[in-house]
């Protein structure tokens, strides 16, 4: 009779484990849809909770039948420690990737600068972040390095990238700041914007940002749609060339 009770209780524990596992998986799926959680992160959460639930169930059944659980806990601890020591880098990237997917400092198609690497985010995996850079190549950054770096996200509202870059000009006695902006920069902006008006959501802007004894710095502000960094990589240097050509031609006229 006692054996029947033990077996029945064990079956109830197994059934409870399966029900709890299913409920948790459904809850995680609902949460993932509400928060737009990356599928990789959602699957990791399901795996972690499944391990916890099934381990708890195994310990409960072993306790029910009077089987010592010390060896099971010991083996689990040793296995976890061995995996941790053997793959510290991998585990670190794994955890960092999971954190990135939860915290979302940037999304796919965002234009970012991570440390010294700048470009469009093409993919975020559990181990690496892939960036499409101005050299027209994909740079793969380990997620641990991503978290250790300063992240600058240029992506703004309405899926528009708001990007600024400086240009320095030497001091010239016969060229005022207004002349520099109007004659050399605004004209170049108008030319490039009219050429690419169908792609650029807004006209580029220019403003004086810094001045010292060595020269003047003008900040150029550009806007381009998310997911079109390949076009931006062509237009930005084109605008820079037009500005510098305008400056050279203006200086020739002044002389």
CATH number for the domain harbouring residue 135: 2.30.30.60
Range of the domain at 229: 157-254
Give strand pairing partners of 155: 161
Distances (CA, A) of 104 to 28, 35, 77: 18, 11, 32
Is 98 part of any domain?
no
Per residue of the chain (255 residues), what is the pLDDT tens digit? Answer: 556 766 677 778 778 888 888 888 888 888 777 766 666 666 666 777 777 777 777 777 777 666 655 555 555 555 555 455 444 556 677 778 778 877 888 988 999 999 999 999 998 887 889 999 999 999 999 988 998 899 999 987 778 999 999 999 988 877 888 888 888 899 999 999 999 999 999 999 999 888 888 889 999 999 999 888 989 999 999 999 999 999 988 888 876
Is 59 part of any domain?
yes
> What's this model's pTM, rounded to 2 decimal places?
0.67
Is 96 part of any domain?
no
143 shares its domain with 176:
no
CATH number for the domain harbouring residue 27: 1.10.287
In whole angstroms, give the CA distance from residue 107 to residue 133: 16
Is 97 part of any domain?
no
- pLDDT, tens digit, for every residue of 163-201? 999 999 988 877 888 888 888 899 999 999 999 999 999
């Amino acid at each position: 009779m006692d054996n029947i009770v033990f077996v029945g209780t064990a079956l109830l524990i197994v059934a409870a484990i399966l029900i709890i596992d299913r409920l948790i998986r459904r809850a995680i799926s609902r949460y993932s849809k509400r928060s737009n959680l990356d599928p990789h992160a959602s699957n990791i959460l399901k795996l972690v909770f499944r391990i916890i639930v099934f381990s708890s169930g195994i310990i409960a059944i072993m306790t029910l039948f009077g089987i010592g659980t010390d060896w099971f806990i010991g083996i689990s601890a040793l296995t976890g420690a061995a995996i941790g020591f053997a793959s510290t880098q991998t585990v670190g990237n794994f955890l960092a990737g999971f954190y990135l997917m939860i915290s979302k400092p940037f999304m796919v198609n965002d234009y970012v600068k991570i440390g010294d690497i700048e470009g469009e985010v093409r993919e975020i995996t559990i181990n690496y972040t892939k960036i499409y850079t101005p050299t027209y190549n994909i740079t793969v950054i380990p997620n641990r390095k991503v978290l250790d770096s300063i992240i600058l996200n240029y992506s703004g509202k309405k899926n528009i990238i708001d990007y600024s870059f400086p240009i320095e000009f030497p001091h010239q006695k016969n060229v005022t700041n207004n002349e520099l902006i109007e004659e050399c920069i605004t004209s170049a902006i108008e030319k490039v914007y009219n050429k690419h008006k169908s792609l650029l959501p807004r006209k580029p802007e220019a403003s004086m940002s810094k001045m010292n004894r060595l020269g003047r710095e003008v900040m150029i502000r550009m806007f381009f749609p998310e997911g079109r960094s390949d076009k931006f990589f062509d237009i930005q240097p084109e605008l820079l060339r037009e500005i510098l050509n305008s400056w050279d031609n203006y200086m020739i006229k002044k002389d």
